[in-house]
Chain A
Amino acid sequence: MAEFLAMGGYAFYVWSAYALVAIVLIGNATVPWWRHRRLKNKGAGRGRAR
Chain B
Amino acid sequence: MMGRIFAAVFRREVRLAWRRRGQLLQPLMFYALVMLLFPLGAGADLALLGQAAPSLLWVAALLAVLLAQGPLFSADLEEGGIELWVTSGVSLSWLALAKLIAHAMIVSLPLILVSPILAGWLGVSGEALGVLAISMALGMPVLCWVGALGAALTLGLPRGGILLALIVLPLYIPVLMFGAGAVHAAMEGRPAGGALVLLAGLLCLGASLAPLATAAALRISQE
A–B contact with Cβ pairs below 8 Å: the answer is no
Give chain B's interface residues, CB within 8 Å of chain A: none
